[in-house]
Amino acid sequence: MHESQIRSVTYCAKENGLQIRVRSGGHDYEGLSYTSEVPFLSLDFFNLRQISVDVENKTAWVQAGSTIGEQYYRIAEKSQTLGFPAGVCPTVGVGGHFSGGGYGALLRKYGLAADNIIDARMVDVNGRLLNRNSMGEDLFWAIRGGGASFGVILAWKIQLVDLPEKVTLFTINKTLDQNETNIVHRWQYVAHKFDKDLYISILIRRVNSSQDGERTIQASFTPLFLGGVDTLLPLMQRSFPELGLQREDCTEMSWIESILYWAGFPIESRDVLLNRTQPNVRYFKAKSDYVQIPISKNGLEGIWKLFFEDEAEEAQMLLVPYGGRMHEISEFEIPFPHRAVNLYKIQHLVFWDEEEIEASQNYINWIRKLYSYMTPYISRFPRAAYINYRDLDIGVNDKGVNDKGNTSYAKASIWGIKYFKNNFNRLVQREKEKQIVTCEWWRKWVVGWTGGKWGGRRECIITHLRMLASSSSPHPTA
């Protein structure tokens, strides 16, 4: 596929009343880039992966089919001290990832990927090829975090960011008998206030204790520090002594090596960043939450209790600290609204391997129970969620087969306000303007961003969704 063909493809789809599904890295949590109950046309971007890096101006043009791993690799080919604040998993595609925000370990220093987009090439609902200048600031605002469906993104122009020659990493694990609850509790008070150069996330899961083989809950503290160990140690001593960080826990490396470390690869194996195949393919269901007031120790202990249940053997909770640049950017700057009021974000995850629907249902029920348990501890009015962790449980559009999918504003608000808060109304306005021109087709097109796609199939999609092994197959195994 070539960029020039996309205009005719969109025109053709419109003429024939076909919906379009656009796929970049194929990592959508609910499989919305490649599933539908009605006939659709699939635009798969896996061949559109050109990346041109301009070191002098610290910018790059990245075609929408590129993965973030390919993007990091190409930047590092040209410079060891330039990078980009996007996600952790190298196989995620920039088409969907940047459209929903896109965060990684640089978010406290530089914000999201979408905060650092300075231009884009896209094809709109009428088959017009647009750039920032011709699309206007309103549409340019919408495509940076508004959830991927104001048109087909062909390429992003990104602002690269400055990085030191050395960054420092460590992993410290704490289990229940190692004061875990108190340390996680304390982290909630300090992690958003750390120096911007320091990011420490926590991964919670159940493990077998090394001492007696009994099951316990483990918190893994994983950082990115933009500097050397000599600067990090006194900083940690001042701001988070409870973790007990020692020099021997730390490793200095280049930023591109830290990308490999975070992704779980040997830091020498840089070429794996060019591999679009997701190594661990499993069934999973995820949800997200934002925390604005620290969770009490009792509250944390209640979470640990749920993690001892059978279905939680492969469950995880990822706590991502905010603060720094995330608190400086206004919640209206781009459609992604989750900024200053949040201490941290949670991603709830449960994985499983069993094929049977019943087994899947058990795991999905478990994560819904956890989500329900969390209700008193997380953001309210709305209970906010991250669009890139798409979750059809929080609301879907009307089914499109018989009623043409004409979802009301009230119904769309159920999920829209959670993902976009007050920016949802501006996104809707943006769509209304477009609707004047192409009412019928817009309604079909818009399904992609009005979230849920086809409510009737949702259990099926959730249950059968695998993290995609590759986006090169037009019909991934479900």
d(CA 261, CA 365): 33
Indicate whether 116 belongs to the interface with ligand FAD (CB under 6 A): no
Whether residue 282 contacts residue 351, with contact meaning beta carbons closer than 8 Å, is answered with yes
Answer yes or no whether residue 83 interacts with ligand FAD by CB under 6 A.
no
183-189 long-range Cβ contacts below 8 angstroms, 24+ apart? 183/219, 183/242, 183/243, 184/219, 184/300, 184/319, 185/294, 185/295, 185/296, 185/297, 185/300, 186/240, 186/242, 187/221, 187/240, 187/319, 187/321, 188/291, 188/294, 188/295, 188/343, 188/344, 189/294
- Residue 349: CB minimum distance to ligand FAD, A: 10
Tell me the window of 22-30, 253-261, 338-346, 404-412 that interacts with ligand FAD (CB under 6 A).
Answer: 22-30
Q: Token pair of 105, please?
A: 């370990």
Could you say which of 75, 120, 139, 148 contacts ligand FAD (CB under 6 A)?
A: 148
* 337 scored as a contact of ligand FAD (CB under 6 A): no
What is the token pair recorded at 293?
A: 């007031």
**373 phi and psi, to 5 degrees?**
-60, -35
- Residue closer to ligand FAD by CB (options 99, 397) is 99
* Shortest distance in whole angstroms from residue 35 CB to ligand FAD: 10
Q: Which is nearer to ligand FAD, 168 or 471 (CB)?
A: 471
Is residue 448 within the footprint of ligand FAD (CB under 6 A)? yes
In terms of Cβ atoms closer than 10 Å to its own Cβ (0-12, 13-18, 19+), residue 330 is: exposed
381: tokens are: 């009015």
Tell which one of 83, 90, 102, 395 touches ligand FAD (CB under 6 A).
Answer: 102
In the range 39-68, which residues lie near ligand FAD by CB under 6 A?
45, 64
Asked if 317 touches ligand FAD (CB under 6 A), the answer is no
Cβ at position 358, least distance to ligand FAD in Å: 24
**Does 22 sit near ligand FAD (CB under 6 A)?**
yes
Q: Pick from 19, 29, 195, 427 the residue near ligand FAD by CB under 6 A.
A: 29
| CA–CA distance, 235 with 57 (Å, rounded to integer) | 33
Q: State how far the Cα of 36 lies from the Cα of 267, in Å rounded to an integer.
A: 39
Q: In which residue are the tokens 């501006």 written?
A: 426
The yes or no reply on residue 276 touching ligand FAD (CB under 6 A) is no
Asked if 95 interacts with ligand FAD (CB under 6 A), we say yes
Part of the chain binding ligand FAD (CB under 6 A), chosen from 19-27, 222-230, 291-299, 374-382 = 19-27
Among 69, 85, 90, 93, contact with ligand FAD (rule: CB under 6 A): 93
Given 110, 386, 389, 419, the catalytic residue:
389
CA angle 422, 462, 31 (to 5 degrees): 70
11 is catalytic: no
In angstroms, what is the minimal distance from the CB of 215 to ligand FAD? 26
149-178 residues near ligand FAD, rule: CB under 6 A? 152-153
Q: Determine which residue in the list 9, 25, 115, 304 makes contact with ligand FAD, applying CB under 6 A.
A: 25
Contact range with ligand FAD by CB under 6 A, out of 25-33, 218-226, 306-314, 355-363: 25-33
Is residue 89 a contact residue for ligand FAD (CB under 6 A)?
A: yes
SS3 of residue 117 by DSSP: strand
Cα gap 448→100, rounded to integer Å? 12
Select from 468, 67, 151 the least CA-distant residue to 282. Answer: 468
Interior/surface letters 444-463, b for 16+ CB within 10 angstroms, e for the rest: bbbbbbbbbbbbebbeebbb
- Catalytic residue positions, numbered: 389
Binding site for ligand FAD (CB under 6 A): 21-29, 32-33, 45, 64, 87-89, 92-93, 95-97, 99-104, 148, 152-153, 388, 448, 467
